[in-house]
Amino acid sequence: MQSRSVYEVKKQVSIPKPKLLKPENDPLHIIKTRKFTHGRPAMIAGPMVRYSKLPFRQLCRQYDADIVYSPMILAREYVRNGNARLADLSTNGDDTPLIIQVGVNNVADLLKFVEMVAPYCDGVGINCGCPIKEQVREGIGCALIYNADLLCQMVSAVKSKYGDSLRLETKIRIHDDLDQTVLLCKSLCDAGVDWITIHGRTRTTRSSQPVNLEAIRYIVEKIQDKKVPVVANGDCFQRADVDDIAEFTKVDGVMAVRGLLANPALFSGYDTCPWSCVEKFWYYAIEYGGLPYQLLQHHLYCMLENMGLERKLLKEMMEIKSTGELIDWFDTRFNFKRFGDGWAQSTAIPYRQHN
């Protein structure tokens, strides 16, 4: 199915209504019920700036991701600039359940943004966890966990307008004082948030430092009377991590981000990226189009590095400058199959034998 961009909405064109939520595409229902229907927590592919585009989202769904996020989209640009809308969001009928993540610092922009994207997604997530200084200075990302009143006003405004016809999530980081995070989460619950994703690091904690699962467990325990699901984020790199994190923290879902970039089949139990991922990603990237070459190349690099492709070949691949040349390189180096018979069946790298 060909992708379609969310186009600029003219004043004279009425905006479609939000999608109808059914159990199979309602993210809140999925998060609440996976432990009963599947014997495991909900498995969620989190937002990655630049990388969570349509081809990668569809790839993650092929390997048991229950819910998938878009990259963060800046509301102020999206609601004012048609070119931003064309560039930031492409989707199709198979792209579900989809959460569109937004970077926003005021109620008006958020309401307009939600109105424009609601017909194309199953929920919206407010980014309250991005630690990048430029975003924080704009009052976006991590800045919002220190501005609870504004954040709760935004949540309340959306839920007052849309109710259960649209799901709303907040993805936060923790404070140095965990009780401050508990108060924030309780306020978000009272404002009507559907679920909270907690990244178990503070704004200044580097990703190289272990995630604080004890903090997530503490927060879950303190807000359990609110009956709002919690998703844990941080350091999910293997399928076993999903169960271990959920068991320790008592969350309803587990989100992976960096782990999926290297191994999109993580949730299906593959310890390393299978070759089938590579061939499927190529198919989605070409079929849907719109993926800049540098992103295509980087996705393939991350997957092949995870598979153990030798450094010499990785370097060789990164020196290629175009999609056509890269396809030729794959054909030369590997038994690279297209969509059809025998496609996406291999696990190991199918090196081409040279005489």
139: which 2 tokens?
Answer: 């009052």
> Is 154 among the annotated ligand-binding positions?
no
Query: Three-state SS across the chain?
Result: CCCEECCCCCCCCCCCCCCCCCCCCCHHHHHHHHHHHCCCCEEEECCCCCCCCHHHHHHHHCCCCCEEECCCEEHHHHCCCHHHHHHHCEECCCCCCEEEEEECCCHHHHHHHHHHHHHHCCEEEEEECCCCHHHHHCCCHHHHHHCHHHHHHHHHHHHHHHHHHCEEEEEEECCCCHHHHHHHHHHHHHHCCCEEEEECCCCCCCCCCCCCHHHHHHHHHHHHHHCCCEEEECCCCCHHHHHHHHHHHCCCEEEECHHHHHCCCHHHCCCCCCHHHHHHHHHHHHHHCCCCHHHHHHHHHHHHHHHCCCHHHHHHHHCCCCHHHHHHHHHHHECCCCCCCCCCCCCCCCECCCC
Q: Which amino acid, one-letter code, is at 140?
A: I
The active-site residue, picked from 60, 121, 128, 130, is: 130
Cis peptide before 18 (omega within 30 of 0): no
Question: Per the annotation, does 209 bind a ligand?
Answer: no
The answer to the question of whether 182 is labelled as a binding residue is no
Please check if 199 is assigned to a binding site.
Answer: yes
User: 47 a known binding residue?
Assistant: yes
130 is catalytic: yes
Please list, in sequence order, all residues whose beta carbon lies within 8 angstroms of the beta carbon of residue 101, skipping any fewer than 6 positions away. Answer: 47, 69, 70, 71, 72, 73, 124, 125, 126, 127, 171
Binding residues for FMN: 47-49, 101, 199
Binding residues: 47-49, 101, 199
Catalytic residues, by residue number, are 130
